[in-house]
Amino acid sequence: PPPFTGVWMGDSKLCAIGVHCRNHITSHGLALNCCTDLSWFEHIVPCGLEGKGVTSLSHELGQHVAVSHVLQPFLDSFQEVFDCALVSSEDPG
């Protein structure tokens, strides 16, 4: 929920989004909780947000959702939204 970044399901964060800047270099990334063991979050204040929870696709859908099931549809959507072509470091050339 605004003003918090990420992808939310009610008051629980499903995906964290971050940006880091150092020495004139910017890096960014995201963490999508697919089948994460959510019990670890009981020991911390996730993202420093008091009173907010964390969830996963598996928890929300009530079935196991492996990263391998999500990766290709995510990459396809990313390419469509950002009008780009992704290249794997494993691709020759």
Active-site position among 15, 34, 35, 47: 47
Tally of CB atoms within 10 A around 86: 10
Q: How far apart are CA 51 and CA 24, in angstroms?
A: 35
Please give the backbone phi and psi of residue 87, each rounded to the nearest 5 degrees, phi first.
-125, 125
Q: Is 47 a catalytic residue?
A: yes
Catalytic residues: 47
